[in-house]
Chains A and B, each alone.
Chain A
């Protein structure tokens, strides 16, 4: 099902309560097992709020005063030309920029009102709440089962083998991969096709029970059919997760997202509902980018 960009957040919240039968089986197991460090957010609320975020790589400033609200249980797309800072901003949300020694982040990024950049926030716990999917499918060179089971195992989400297997199964089902791999769970994940690998990686992220899933150009290495499959999946997942996706394809942003933010030269130019952005952009730069005049 390819989504209609005008879908409303309220409707999504409703959709969650009537989740597909597949999900209803094992979803509670994950929900109860997930570390509840912060109070769960209600669906209509703002999930992520960025306030005056500046990012520097050494002397070079990559992001300038980014302010944005990202709603929960919906898909938000970041678009913009290469090097505009959209991936940098995405990586701020789960503090992946910590791994770059020269990167410095200022300002606040709040998830459910709690700043992730505080010293007291352990990035490991943050990343268990904020999963990430990368540009190139990067499954571990281990079995399909081990790929999905790794996260729950290190976070102690399963007390026994059966519980772990249930998490793996439900995660693979949610990622729409279960039917394709059920009979070869113990074969290497790297043996799957590119699109399957990317869905495996999504299953791996889901298995930890995150609230937010960040996707950094998840379809840029995939063929159109695999891309369509991932887009469908993203649409299914927005009922349960706050999804933030960076994409180079404006068509993709239009298809999968409810909210779109346009970045240019390290600045957030404009953000709004996807429909509004694509039909009636306020800023001329947005208009030029969307109509294909640059980028």
Chain B
């Protein structure tokens, strides 16, 4: 009897194996097997995490590696003589500023234009049209500048910028690159003379989309995303929370509420492009909301985010212990007072987390927006909620489809901006949860 119940393992047992009963041997075998299983399970977990981490590092590394150069840019400062012969005061808009800038650059480089204008054409290929816009604006503000020399600072064209960044190499066959040897010589000369400066690419955050890569920026897309997200948040969060509160706290539990619950769960799994089609049919074709506007985008994404907000809110409400409800009802609070004074405030961290995560999801959504015409070239900040707009993920999509190499750099840059927004939102969710989480 005592043998059978004695502790089967341990140094004493292994030191005297002869005294082991059959039962003890079996138990030791089981123990070994259990330990093996535990070790194997832990190893599997570690492997899974390692693989996931590798994927993450590769993904982020590739995006950052491709995109970090977007945030750097090279600018040229040249003195420009505003030749009165070339400027018609009556028609400032019609002046060929690009040629004036090219002339100034040629003077700086010490070269002469030929009769066909080939040299000036090659120079113009290096310098952004931004110079011309700057001159126009300066002249509009002050016509007395005509005949004087002003120093203008502006970006290079994207290809010249890529040469300075080392993306276009002199070692490449001349025919295989966008810039010929003479142009590269000029760029080297300008750099040697100290006219070229490298710095942070503020233009990327100050400009909206443009056909010229060096002038293209994310401002329009960021503002468009913010406006759209505002609409989504204003619709999806209050509606989702109220729907969840009603379903969880007030609705009778019967077949109808079961059906509604199942359908909400199904809606959360509907592919997002379907919401785009729904939005196209419902908001644009039937309600005539202007297409490609932040309003219609926000409405569609609100539809998409609604089920997620409802599900998150319901589970947050479910997690509030029933004792709190009983406590409130016990002192004579009504059902509504119980919910709004006690249950919902306690569920708030969960509600906010769910809402922010579903909004972050909406921020990155592209497919439904393509359906409602947001995939268009919008060279500016949206004019109000019904104006044409583009958003960050769609901007990424548009730039990725562009043929110029410089746009691919900007694609990665825009992705980095998008990811930073996501990280900020997710961090906000974590902080909110930590700050307002209460223990009971």
Contact = CB atoms under 8 A, between A and B. Distances in A.
A80 interface: no
A128 interface: yes
Contact of B324 (A96, A140, A205, A208): A140
Interface string A121-162: 000111110011110101111000000001100110000000
Interface string B319-342: 001011111111111100100011
Interface of B: 252-253, 321, 323-334, 337, 341-342, 346, 438-440
Interface of A: 94, 96, 99, 101, 124-128, 131-134, 136, 138-141, 150-151, 154-155, 190, 201, 204-205, 207-208
Contacts of B440: 138, 141, 190
The 4 closest A-B pairs by CB, nearest first: A128-B332, A138-B323, A151-B331, A132-B330
Contacts of B325: 99
B327 A140 contact: yes
Contacts of A127: 329-332
Contacts of B332: 124-128, 151, 154-155, 208
Question: Interface SS of chain B: helix, strand, loop or mixed?
Answer: helix
Contacts of B252: 101
B326 A138 contact: yes
Contact of A208 (B327, B331, B337, B342): B331
Contact of A140 (B253, B337, B342): B342
B330 A134 contact: yes
A185 to B, nearest CB: 18
A121 to B, nearest CB: 13
B326 A141 contact: no
B257 to A, nearest CB: 11
Q: Counting chain B CB atoms within 10 Å of each CB, which of A101, A133, A154, A208 scores highest?
A: A154
Contacts of B253: 101
A125 B329 CA distance: 11
Contacts of B323: 134, 136, 138
Given A101-B252, A190-B440, A204 B331 contact: yes
Given A140-B342, A141-B440, A154-B337, A134 B327 contact: yes
A155 B341 CA distance: 14
Contacts of A132: 326, 330
Contacts of B330: 94, 96, 127, 131-134, 205
Contact of B439 (A94, A134, A190): A190
Contacts of B321: 138
Contacts of A150: 328, 331, 333, 341
Contacts of A208: 331-332
Given A101-B252, A101-B253, A190-B440, A139 B327 contact: yes
A64 to B, nearest CB: 25
13 contacts: A96-B326, A96-B330, A99-B325, A126-B332, A127-B329, A131-B330, A138-B326, A140-B324, A141-B324, A150-B333, A155-B332, A207-B331, A208-B332
A141 B331 contact: no
B389 to A, nearest CB: 43
B261 to A, nearest CB: 16
B86 to A, nearest CB: 76
Nearest to B333: A154
Given A140-B324, A141-B440, 7 more contacts: A127-B331, A138-B326, A140-B328, A141-B438, A141-B439, A155-B332, A204-B327
Contacts of B326: 96, 99, 132, 134, 138
A136 B333 CA distance: 19
A138 B253 CA distance: 26
Contacts of B333: 124, 150-151, 154
Contacts of A128: 331-332
Nearest to B334: A124
The residue among A131, A132, A140 with the most chain B CB atoms within 10 A of its own CB is A140
A128 B332 CA distance: 5
A38 B72 CA distance: 80
Nearest to A136: B323
A128 B331 CA distance: 6
A150 B334 CA distance: 12
Nearest to B323: A138
Nearest to B254: A101
Given A150-B341, A154-B337, A96 B327 contact: no
B436 to A, nearest CB: 11
A56 B431 CA distance: 47
A101 B250 CA distance: 11
B323 to A, nearest CB: 4
Nearest to B253: A101
A131 B331 CA distance: 6
A145 to B, nearest CB: 15
Contacts of A190: 438-440
A29 B81 CA distance: 90
A94 B333 CA distance: 13
B350 to A, nearest CB: 14
Contacts of B331: 127-128, 131, 150-151, 154, 204-205, 207-208
A201 B328 CA distance: 11
B327 A138 contact: yes
Nearest to B331: A151
Q: Which of A131, A150, A207 has the most CB of B within 10 A?
A: A150
